[in-house]
Structure 1
Amino acid sequence: MKNYTITVQYDGTRYKGWQVQKSTDQTIQGKLQNVLQTLAGHPVEVIGSGRTDAGVHARGQVANFHLDEHFSMDEIFQWLNRYLPEDIAVIAIEEVDERFHARYHAVEKTYQYRIHTGIVPNVFERRELYDYKQPLDIEKMKKAAELLCGTHDYTSFCGNRKFKKSAVRTVYRIDVEKKGDEIRLTYSGDGFLQNMIRILTGTLIEVGNGSRELEEMTEILEAKDRARAGYTAPPQGLTLLHVTYEKDW
């Protein structure tokens, strides 16, 4: 058996997230596994770098799987792109060390959240935008973002209230930039909790619209209480841009 890694792009609009679920066949992982099973003739487990929520997109999701040696990389690559739905594409494939694990060996993930603040909707990119339609104070959002970076217990920003494991994560940076009627929040960290980026975004939006003060950011982190943070921004504005791995892999 050989170990392969693939880079996957998808429009998550009609999917229930990355992870396979018993209640639906509309998941990214499920679609990939089904197509690989038709090639291999037996079940193939596809391991993603992490889960994306229902409605969230990816431009650089990374996954790995093991497959019999008699299949060539080109054959696998062509098969995937021939039979996957039109809103999922494999843009790269590579043979890797048999020990490589897409989730365990990831050292940094970068996501971007796009907020449209103009009155006129962006018709052509509406599936990748949160159409907020209100102005936001970007300078205050930048200052608040700085306060939310670092190594912290991010329980206040976790959407899973029953989460039992450590909620300590390191957010390396949150870049806030304005491009015309759009504000882009780019998050990089060693990993993110369920709904974490969307809750961080909702909190930063509340700073930008004046309903929260900068001083609250530290208080929210220290409280370790989901009720203290802002609302959960909708999924369609969020895209996984890329995943970084240790150089050894």
Structure 2
Amino acid sequence: MRFALGIDYEGTHYRGWQTQQEGVPSIQSTIEDVLSRIADHPVIIHAAGRTDAGVHASGMVAHFDTHAIRGHKSWLLGSNTWLPKDIALRWIHPVSEDFHARFKAVARRYRYIIFNSGQRSSQLAGKVTWHYHPLNFERMKIAASYLVGQHNFNSFRAVGCQSRNPNRHVHFLNLTKRGSLIILDIQADGFLHHMVRNIAGVLMAIGEGKAEPEWVQELLRVQDRTQGGVTASGSGLYFVDALYPPEFELPKEPLGPLWLVD
């Protein structure tokens, strides 16, 4: 059988989603070890995305195959009993064999959360990116609007990004403000390595007054990463959703992070 999983995790103490060399903690290997214990055979999971070191998720979707017969509670409650406190399975759902968490996803969604305050917060440590210089929210919103649509995002991807195609379609990039928190909410048909973090870095530079909002248009035109801004910290980034065709009938939960949900 094939099962889809909904996963949330706090990525501060992991080297990212993908399994690393032995002894290096990753989200994937931690979950695989627990599922393998419950299934009593080796389990490999495939995810909708691969988050970097220190990046979080509130709505990661993955899938795995098994010949083990276990009840719903055994998979879900059993896994959460063995998993560390900073990783949790939110749901498990049987799917057809043509489902694939990565290749069947039609869109992915991230949120980047900035704590804009003159003083840091111990309670938000690791959960947000702290930016102590005042940010002009309206300037950031204008700049963000230029990124919506189909563009070449060479200026917004990591130098080592291995994707052959730099073109992505950003469905929306909304900015909202809650007190000292600025939330970037972005959905696209796919993302390049460090794309969201580089976008956040550019928007913060514009919000701080280091560049005009039209700088975004220039970066899209030159298609050169060396002309872009600093890559923002991974601590404020959350993978919040993966979208699939409706025939798979996957469970839907409120978009996270959960501590931010009303």
TM-score by length of 1: 0.95
- SS of alignment partner, residue 164 of structure 2: coil
Contact 1:110 1:241 in 2 (8 A): yes
Mapped partners of 1:127, 1:113: distance in 2:
12
1:128 aligns with 2:127: yes
- SS of alignment partner, residue 60 of structure 1: strand
Identify the residue that residue 239 of structure 1 maps to in structure 2. Answer: 238
1:20 aligns with 2:19: yes
1:71/1:96 Cα in 2 relative to 1: closer, same or farther (>3 Å)? Answer: same
Mapped partners of 2:85, 2:178: distance in 1:
29
Identify the residue that residue 54 of structure 1 maps to in structure 2. Answer: 53
Letter in 1 for 2:116: T
Identify the residue that residue 63 of structure 2 maps to in structure 1. Answer: 64
Identify the residue that residue 167 of structure 1 maps to in structure 2. Answer: 166
Letter in 1 for 2:216: M
In the TM superposition, residue 164 of structure 1 has moved relative to its aligned partner by 4.9
What are the ranges of 5 or more consecutive residues in structure 2 without an aligned counterpart? 249-262
Query: C-alpha deviations, 1:25-64, integer Å up to 9, x for none?
Result: 3100110111112122322110000100100001110000
Mapped partners of 1:151, 1:24: distance in 2:
40
- SS of alignment partner, residue 201 of structure 2: helix
Letter in 1 for 2:231: T
Query: C-alpha deviations, 1:71-128, integer Å up to 9, x for none?
Result: 2222111221011111000011100111100011111211111111112333222221
Q: Which runs of 4 or more aligned residues in structure 1 lie more than 3 Å from their structure 2 counterparts after TM superposition? A: none
1:181 aligns with 2:171: no
Letter in 2 for 1:158: R
1:5 aligns with 2:4: yes
Mapped partners of 1:184, 1:153: distance in 2:
24
1:83 aligns with 2:79: no
Mapped partners of 1:164, 1:132: distance in 2:
30
Superposed CA RMSD in Å reads: 1.3
Contact 1:25 1:31 in 2 (8 A): no
In the TM superposition, residue 162 of structure 1 has moved relative to its aligned partner by 5.4
Identify the residue that residue 147 of structure 1 maps to in structure 2. Answer: 146
Of 201-210 and 61-70, deviating more is: 61-70
